[in-house]
Structure formats: structure tokens, C-alpha cells
Amino acid sequence: MTDLAANPPPAVPAPAAPVRQLGYSVRAIWPFLVIFGGFVLLALFAPLIAPNDPNSQNLLARLRPPGTTARGIFYALGTDEVGRDLLSRLIYGARVSLLVAFLSVLVSTVLGTTLGMIAGYYRGWVEVIIMRLVDIVLSIPAILLAIITVAVLGPGLQNLILVLGFTRWPRYARVAYGQTLVVMNLPFVRASRFIGARTPRLMLRHILPNIAGAVIVVATLEFGLMVLFEAGLSFLGLGVQPPTPSWGSILSVGRNYMATAWWIATFPGICLFLLALSINLIGDHLRDRLDPRSKR
Amino acid sequence: MNRYLLRRLAQSAIAVLGTVTLVFFIQRLAGDPTLLMLPEGATREDIETLRRQLGFDRPVIEQYLDYVWQLLRLDLGQSLVQRLAVGDIIASRLPYTLYLAAAALVVALGIGLPVGVLMAVKRDTRLERLLVAFVLIGQSMPTFWSGILLILFFAVTLGVMPASGVDGFHSVILPAIALGALTMATFARVTRTAVLEELSRDYVPAAQAKGLRFRAVVFSHILRNAATPIITVSALEIANLLAGAIIVETVFAWPGLGQLAVQSIAARDFPIVQGIVLLGSFVAISLNLLADILYSVVDPRIRLEGRA
């Protein structure tokens, strides 16, 4: 519940050796950039890369293990319960995963940053209303908020993006608000106010560029979370609907075939794990770089 | 009671009311809430009858006040499928979720604390790097996948654990590990940071100069001082565990609230979904308040300053 402006001053003198607040840092970040970049490429060029149509069924080649060839088609990662090529479904799944994460982060970034800046700029009752709303939305566990909204609106790609976007904006609002309060007091902003700069100019030219770093850090960390949320909701059957391939829904099918076809649940899990891991580490790295004051 | 606590209490009350309001209006996002409550293919007359029965033909503000009044009397309404009070259905499932969450908390604390202390004490060694990898894995494994892997390995391959359901003490182990992994990672990170901070304080070399062994300093001085952030994080993490239970319960067919929520969405039993969401939010808000109170007890600066 603390914001940057209201942080209590440290009572004890700063420790002699600065402790890296974030905890560990991973020395080499590039392997994770490569992994993330790889998934982005898979997503962008899925139709060119995927060896087969992700939705074409081959009922005579159901549940085949990785590396089998059936009727002249090679299934590198095996087939699922209706004989679809798992590898191709995973490649198209990267598309769904990144698309949902990217668009929902975009929705919540725009919404949250705007509201946070407005709250920090105008103060007064506008601030009270917006920040109270932030507290309320943040106090509902995100997965519950997502579940009740999906229950009302119905599942599907579009609704999923909206639900995630509209449930996550308070994170950005809080950061944007705190940073705006700080920036508003900087000499150059006050100066340009005195010489008569108008609100839009102040917000876009002076405040936004100065709070962008902190917002980007939040967005990166949220991006990883959104990937997991999409997969989680799709796993529960509340996200992307079949036959559209999503790693989460492939996993939930795989759960039913664990004893006979281990590959269906294993490979989408690995993809999800690698993507989430690389995004988390990139986010941590960015935070270290851009926001040295950050804790935890 | 001082001003800070009163203020936090009032904030929490507003948050609860806000949540109720938000849930009420989310119901109306789809237009007519009766459509949520009837099976697909209901006739026009069915819709009309239910609408009048539930009072949806009245002004919204009147419905809203009614809704709040009903909740104040702790009445969550009736299940549409089972024709039982939602409160009773939830109460019958709640113990399972609490049991699972408690077991997961034990796993998370039992592993996270020692790992965090070790990471701080053995800073810049090979052991630390190993532990960092362990924590990172715990943090990035989606619970539904780690759950499936645990079942694959321990239940399907080795056959030493039940794959799903509730059947004796054994059956809680795998879901507790799956659910506790993320919290374990958080505990390890927080503990590491807290211990590192304490390690850099002047009393550490002072105690060592006094002739105390390093191990004794860690156990009798550092851990006691580092406990503050860990305790506060615990309160917040319990809320996360309860939310995470939704997915873990589905993976392990665990008959708690999470499974009930997912089943109720599939069955279009909206009052139950709503009851679970309201209960979950209420618990989360309470835990948040508890964390702040704990924090203000151990750190009087927050209390005295009045605004956190």
C-alpha cells in the first residue's frame, strides 16, 4: 500500500555495502532473449514454420508417440487425441499465447497509465475516486475477477483479452500515479507550468516520458503473468475455445491421456515454462536497469 | 485503536462494499442477468417468470440495495442447479480448500525459509547459483503443468502416490507441492533479501568480535530481525494460495471451492460462482488488512506517521 511519494524515510543509515534489493541477478540475459525471440518468430511466421495444418485431424493416427510417420506425414512430437500434429499445434499455440498477452498488456497499460497520470495530475476528488477504485480492483484476486467476468461474458479469444486487460490495469495506475506525483514536483515541470504550458502538453511531453520507464518494467513483468493467465484460463476451459490451439487447453487434454500419451501434456508445458521463465528474467533485468529503487 | 488502524479498517470496509458493487455490475455486463441463470434454450416465458421472481424488472438501484441488504444478512442466495443455499454448499467445500492451502503453506515455508537463508549466507557460491535455479524453476512453472508432471512421475510411473481425489494423508502431498511452489519461491526471495540486509548491519561483526560463532549470529540475531517482512508476506501469500487452489484443485480433482467454481461455471450456476468470488475477495481484503496491522505492530513508524 505504499507509493513512492509516501515511502517512510529510512531510520537507519544506509548499509555500507549496497545490497541488491532484487535478490539474485542472472548474469547472462542473452540466452533468455534468444528463447523469447524464438517464440516471437514462431508466433509471427507460424504458417511458414508449422509442418502441418494444426487443425487437420487424422483419426487413423491418434495418440502416436513423437517421431512416428503415419501415411507419409512425419509427426516430430507425436499426435493428439484426434490425430492432429502436436508440433504444429504448439507453434500456432505460441501465436495465441503471445497475442493474448500482448494485447491484454496493451489494454491495461493504456488504461492504467492514463488513469494513474490523471489521478496524480489533478489530485483532489479525482485522485480519491481513481485510487480507491484501484484499491478495490486490486483487492479482488485477479483470477476470481477473471472467472466471474468470463462467466458473464462467455469464453473466447476476444473476451479473454478484454477480461485480462480490464482486471490488470490497477497495477499500472498505481505506478503511474506514484511516478506522476514525483515528476510533478521536479523543477522543469513546475517551470513549464509557470510559463503556461497546457495540460495535454504537460502530460504528453513532460510527464509521460518520465514515467515510461517504470511503466515498461511493470508491463514486462505483467506480460509473463498474462502468458500464464491465458494458459491457466484456457486450461480451465474459460479461455481460448477449441479447435484454436492454446498451450493451456492442449495441456488440459493431455491431463486426460497422462497414462497413455505423456507427450501431449509434456511439450506444451515445456513451451510455457520456457516462455514464462525468459520473460520473468528479462523483466527482472529491466527492473534492475531502469528502476534501481525497486524493492523485491 | 489508533488512527492508522481505524483508517485502514475504514479503507477495507470501503473495499468490501466496492467489491460487492463491482460484482453486482459485472453481472449486468451481459445485459439481462436472467440469461446467466437459465440453461441454454430456455423459453421466453421461463425468462419472464424468472425475471419477475428475482425482481429484475424493478429499477436497478432498488435491486442493488436489495442485493447489499441480502449480503449483509449473509445470504448468498440459492444454487440454481442443486436448489440448496449457496452458503451451505460453499461451507461444505471450504474445509478441503483450507486443508490444501494449509498444507501448501507448510511446504512453502518449510522449503522457502531455509533456501532463502542459505542463498543469503552462501552468497556468490556455487550452492547459491544452484538454489537460484531451483527458485526460478519454482517461480516459472505454471501450477497446472507442475501438477501434471508430479502426477505423471509419482502416481503414473512410480505408483507411490494417488493421482487425484481425497483419500487419506497421502493424497494432499502432491497438490500441496504443486500449489506451494510459487509461494516457496516468494518466501525464498523475501528471506534472502531480508537476511542480506541484516547481514550488512553493524551488530553482525560486533557479535562476531564478541566471540559468537557465525552460525549462532544467524540463528539468534539475524533470523529474529529478518522475521518481520517474512511474517507480513505470509499473510499476503495465503491469499495467493487460495486463488491458486482454483487451478490445482482442477488438476488433482480435489473437491474444494476451486473445483466447485469451475464446475458451477460449466453448469451455469451463477449464484455459486458469485458467492465464491465474494468470499475470496473478502478473505483477500481481510488478509491484506491483517498484513498491514502486523506490519504496524512491528514497525511503529508506519502507525505513527498515519499514512502508509
Predicted confidence band of residue A12 (pLDDT cuts 50, 70, 90): very low
Pick the range with the lowest mean pLDDT from A21-30, A196-205, B129-138: A21-30
ipTM beyond cut 0.85: no
- For residues A247 and A228, give the distance between their C-alpha atoms in angstroms, rounded to a whole number: 10
Read off the pLDDT of residues A200-235 as tens digits, 9 standing for 90 and up: 888 888 889 989 988 998 898 899 889 999 999 999
Residue pair A112/A173 in contact (Cβ under 8 Å)? The answer is: yes
pLDDT of residue B33 exceeding 70, the answer is no
CATH class of B92-267: mainly alpha
Contacts of A287 (CB under 8 A, 6+ apart): A22, A217, A220, A221, A294
Chain B contact set for A252 (CB, 8 A):
144
Contacts of A32 (CB under 8 A, 6+ apart): A26, A277, A278, A281, A282
pTM of the shown model: 0.83
Q: Which residues of B76-95 are buried (b: 16+ CB within 10 A; e: fewer)?
A: bbbbbeeeebbbebbeebee
**What residue of A is the nearest CA neighbor of B258?**
A144
The CATH H-level (homologous superfamily) assignment of domain A45-290 is MetI-like (1.10.3720.10)
Give residues 139 to 168 of A whose Cβ lies within 8 Å of B: 139-145, 147-154
Of A17, A136, A147, the CB nearest to B265: A147
Predicted confidence band of residue B101 (pLDDT cuts 50, 70, 90): very high
Please give, rounded to a whole number of angstroms, the shortest distance from the CA of B140 to a CA of chain A: 5
- For residues A204 and B88, give the distance between their C-alpha atoms in angstroms, rounded to a whole number: 53
Contacts of A230 (CB under 8 A, 6+ apart): A96, A97, A100, A101, A104, A160, A164, A239, A240, A246, A248
A250 touches B: beta carbon within 8 Å: no
- Most B-contacting residue of A127, A133, A140 (CB-CB within 10 A), to test interface: A140
**CA distance readout (Å), A261 to A79, A93, A258, B96, B150:** 9, 19, 6, 30, 15
Please give, rounded to a whole number of angstroms, the shortest distance from the CA of B211 to a CA of chain A: 22
Pick the range with the lowest mean pLDDT from A110-119, B25-34, B189-198: B25-34
A11 touches B: beta carbon within 8 Å: yes
Residues facing residue B78 across a β-bridge: B85
Phi and psi for A119 in degrees, rounded to 5? -60, -45
A25 touches B: beta carbon within 8 Å: no
What does the domain layout of chain B look like in residue ranges?
92-267
Predicted confidence band of residue A20 (pLDDT cuts 50, 70, 90): very low
- For residues B163 and A255, give the distance between their C-alpha atoms in angstroms, rounded to a whole number: 11
pLDDT of residue A261 exceeding 90, the answer is no
Chain B contact set for A148 (CB, 8 A):
23, 26, 273-274, 277
The average pLDDT across A56-78 equals: 78
What does the domain layout of chain A look like in residue ranges?
45-290
